[in-house]
Structure 1
Amino acid sequence: MVDGFVNILKPSGPTSHDMVAYVRRLLGIRRVGHAGTLDPLACGVLVIAVGRATRLISYLERTRIYRGEITFGLTTSTLDSGGEIVAKSPTGLQRQELEELLLNFTGPIYQVPPMVSALKWQGQRLYNLARKGIEIDRKPRRVLIKKLELLSFTPDECHPQALIECICTEGTYVRSLAADIGEALGCGAYLSFLLRTQSGPFSVSSSLTPNEFEIALKHDQISRWLCPPQDALHNLPTVILDEKDSNSFVHGNQILLHQDILSCNKTIAVRVLNRSGVFLGVGNIDLSDLNRLLKPKVVFN
C-alpha cells in the first residue's frame, strides 16, 4: 500500500478535484484527497494525500504562501480573470499609495468568501449556485495575513498592476483580498494571476508537474514523488516508543509516557515513531494531566 503525500504543481485550468482524479487514476488507489483547494485558474503547489495519509491532512502545517498579480481599475464578476468585467474605474494609482494601504491588510482581517468558490451552502457548492445566477449572503470569515509584501509595481494611466507576496493562514481568498484592496482604493481591482508557492512544508521548488510525476511513476522513482507521512508532519512534536509500547499503540491502546514533551497546559498532537524510526501514527497528549497519557488518534499498523 502507498501512503504519503504528493506535491503536484497544478497548472492553470484543471480544478483541484480534477487533479485528485488524475492521481487516483494513475496510482490505481481510491483513497486520494487534497490538502487545500486551488482555484481552477490558479497554479502552484497542490498537496495530494494518498492511501492512509488522507487521514493525516488535518494535522499538516497550515501556512500558505502566494504570489499574485493585481490589476487595478477593473472589477470582474469572479474577482479574477475568469469573470466578466462588471465595472471600470481607470486610476493613476502610485506605488507609495499602495504600499501604505497594504499595511491595513496585514494581521487578522475578515473576508467575505466569493460566490464562485468551493464552499457549500445547504449541500450545494457556491460556484454551482453562481452559475445559476443565485447569490446568497455569506458571513465574513476571520483569516490571518502574516505578511503582505509588494514585490513589484507597473504604473499605468488607467490600469496599473502590482505583484504581491502573501503569507497567510488556510482559508484565505487572495481573490477577495485583491478586490478588497481595490475597493479601499476606490478604483476596484481583480486578481489577474495567482501562484501558490508553498503549502505547509511543501514548496513549489520541489513540486512536480503532471508530466514529471508520470515520468517518475514510469521509472518507479517512488522516493522522487512520494513524501512519507513522518516527513510531512515535521510540525508535530515526536514521541518515540519502545517495542512493547509500539505494539500497544498500533492496537489502539493508551500509553503512559515517561518522557517530557512540553510544559504547557493543553492537549497537543504528536507524531509517533518506534525506535527504528517507523511511523506508527498520530496521538494526542493532555499535558494538563499528570499521567501524561498518549491517546491514539490515527494509527498505521
Structure 2
Amino acid sequence: MQGFLNLNKPNDWTSHDCVARVRRLLRLKRVGHAGTLDPAATGVLPIALGKATRLLQYLPSDKAYKATVRFGIRTNTDDLEGEVITSQPCPDLNLTAIETEIHQFIGKINQIPPSYSAIQVEGKRLYDLARQGEIVQAPVRTVEVFKIEILDWRDGDFPELDLAIACGAGTYIRAIARDLGAILNTGGTLSALTRTESSGFKLQDSLTLTDLETQLQTGIFQPIIPDAALQKLPSVNLPGTFAKKWCQGQQVPMNLDVLGIVRVYENETRFLGIGQIQDHILIPQMVFEPIS
C-alpha cells in the first residue's frame, strides 16, 4: 500500500501516536507524517504510506488554522496545557483595540518559538530541556503569515478571540497568541487550535481514526494517490525510452524553460518520481516507480 492519508488528528494524541495507530491498523511498517501537531491541537495531519514516505519532503509547506486566543492569561507553554504564570482579568479589552494591532502579525515577521517546542538547540529539543527545568530561549526566526481573519469575539473577564490564520512553515500559532497579548498589555495564550489545511490537504476531506477503522472493516479504504499531493510542482513528461533511462538513474536532456523540482511522468499518465531540472538536464532525485 502506498499513497497518503488525510488524517483528522484527535485531541490529546501526539503525531507519533497517530502514526503508530495507522501503522497497526494498516499493518504497514513504512508510515510517516508531515507537519507535527501539538497534542492539544486537532485537525489535518498528512500521513504518508509505504514508498510515499519518500515524498514527504516535497509536499507544499503552507498551512491554515482556526485558533482561539484567551486574553488575561500567560502560561509557560503559551497554551492552556502549561503552568499559569499570570492571570489578570481584562474586561475592558475590546475588539477595536485588537483590530488596531493585529496587522503587525501579517507578512514576514520575527518570532521567538515557545520554550516548550520541538525546536533543537545544541542538539536538544526545547521541551526536553524545559521539562528538566532548564528554560532556553530559541533563536528568533523569520516566518511568514499570509492572512489573519477575525472570526468571532467574546467579551468577559478573560475574553476570547477566534482567528483564521494562513501561514508558511515554522510558524507557531502559540507565539502569535502570546505576542498579541503582550502588545495589548493583557497577556494572552492559545486556548484551542485546529489545523484546517496542511500541505494541500483540507479538513473537510479528512478521515478520523474511527473513519479509517470503519473503511478498513468494510474494505473501502483507498489511500490518496501519491502524486495528488504534489500538484503544486510543475510536471514533465518522458517518452518510453527516456523514461526507462531516467528510472535507471541516468540524466536526460529536457528542452524546456523550467528549473527546479518537478514531477516526472511516462506518457503523461504514469507517475515515475521527482526530478530536478538544471541547464536543460533532468536529474533523478527520487524514483518512485522504476521501469523494468
Provide TM-score, normalisation by structure 1: 0.92
Tell me what 1:154 maps to.
154
Tell me what 2:164 maps to.
165
Alpha-carbon displacement from aligned partner over 1:34-76 (angstroms, at most 9, x marks no partner)? 1110000000000011111111111111110000000001111
The one-letter code matched in structure 2 to 1:137 is Q
Distance across 2 between alignment mates of 1:276 and 1:283? 15
1:241 is aligned to 2:254: no
The one-letter code matched in structure 2 to 1:234 is Q
How far does residue 84 in structure 1 lie from its aligned partner after superposition?
Answer: 1.7
Alpha-carbon displacement from aligned partner over 1:156-183 (angstroms, at most 9, x marks no partner)? 2x21110001100011110011000000
Matches within 5 A, 1:121-270: 121-156=121-156, 158-223=157-222, 226-258=223-255, 260-262=256-258, 267-270=259-262
Moved more, 231-240 or 123-132: 123-132
How far does residue 125 in structure 1 lie from its aligned partner after superposition?
Answer: 2.4
How far does residue 220 in structure 1 lie from its aligned partner after superposition?
Answer: 2.6
Alpha-carbon displacement from aligned partner over 1:228-260 (angstroms, at most 9, x marks no partner)? 1111100001111111111111111111123x3
Distance across 1 between alignment mates of 2:201 and 2:257? 26
**Greater than 4 Å deviation, 4+ residue runs:** none
The one-letter code matched in structure 2 to 1:270 is V
Distance across 2 between alignment mates of 1:278 and 1:221? 24
Distance across 1 between alignment mates of 2:65 and 2:59? 18
How far does residue 261 in structure 1 lie from its aligned partner after superposition?
Answer: 4.5
The one-letter code matched in structure 2 to 1:132 is Q
Contact 2:72 2:87 in 1 (8 A): yes
Contact 1:65 1:196 in 2 (8 A): yes
How far does residue 18 in structure 1 lie from its aligned partner after superposition?
Answer: 0.8
Distance across 2 between alignment mates of 1:261 and 1:23? 41
Fraction of identical pairs, as percent: 40
How far does residue 22 in structure 1 lie from its aligned partner after superposition?
Answer: 1.1
Tell me what 1:84 maps to.
83
Tell me what 1:105 maps to.
105
Contact 2:235 2:263 in 1 (8 A): yes
Distance across 2 between alignment mates of 1:166 and 1:139? 23
Distance across 2 between alignment mates of 1:7 and 1:115? 29
1:43 is aligned to 2:31: no
Tell me what 1:295 maps to.
283
Match of 1:221, SS state, is coil
1:273 is aligned to 2:265: yes
Gaps of 5+ in 2: none
The one-letter code matched in structure 2 to 1:296 is P
Match of 1:222, SS state, is coil
How far does residue 276 in structure 1 lie from its aligned partner after superposition?
Answer: 5.6
Contact 1:237 1:261 in 2 (8 A): no
The one-letter code matched in structure 2 to 1:173 is Y
Contact 1:4 1:229 in 2 (8 A): yes
Provide TM-score, normalisation by structure 2: 0.95
The one-letter code matched in structure 2 to 1:298 is M
1:20 is aligned to 2:19: yes
